[in-house]
Amino acid sequence: MLTIEEEHALVEKAQKDIAYFDALYDHYYLPIFYYVAKRTESKELAGEITSTVFLKALENIKNYKFQGLPFSSWLYRIAQNALTDVYRKNKSAHIIDVSTKQLESIQMELDLGEKEEQIEAVLALLPKLLEEEVVLIELRYFEERKYKEIAEILNITEESARVKIHRVIVKLKGMLNLNLKK
């Protein structure tokens, strides 16, 4: 694992000589691929999107500006934009792949307790959310990213990330209460 300082030094080298981009590619290919694969319907599509991400990163490396965040935040933003493009073209392409362990943090946020049917209700509600809302839930609760990194990935302010996530949680609680009363 590279420190932010080591990573930044490598990015600066890649900005001057693209041969150094190989090290960034090697370091981040699998994490970006897994990020994309968890959100798409096939490994082939995930591979195509991941290739697009690194091609765009390579083409734009000279425009990258260090802002105190990991370089991966920039790559995840490119990946999220590529995923959004795919979702717009094919609504069924978005897959939500989440483990029981990953559900624990949202379960606590929604104050659900441990009832299995409540967890299943949350999973059933996720596809009913707007695309941006699902992305916010995935980043914050399933991937446990900090607000600052979410803001960087989505190209919004940190405060905006906090507010939007809070609103999605309130919306989910309301939807959950309606479902559980039925």
Residues 71-90 pLDDT 10s = 988 999 999 999 888 877 77
Q: Where in the chain is the domain with CATH 1.20.140.160?
A: 100-181
pLDDT at 13 (0 to 100): 95
Instruction: Please report, for residues 55, 83, 87, 151, the alpha-carbon distance to residue 44 in angstroms, rounded to integers and kept in the order given.
Output: 17, 14, 15, 29
Would you state the CATH architecture of domain 100-181?
A: Up-down Bundle (1.20)
Residue partners of 166: CB distance under 8 A and separation at least 6: none
pLDDT at 15 (0 to 100): 95
Q: Dihedral of CA 126/130/131/134: which sign?
A: negative
Asked whether the whole model's pTM tops 0.75, one would answer no
Q: Where in the chain is the domain with CATH 1.10.1740.10?
A: 4-93
Q: Is 4-93 in CATH node 1.10.1740.10?
A: yes
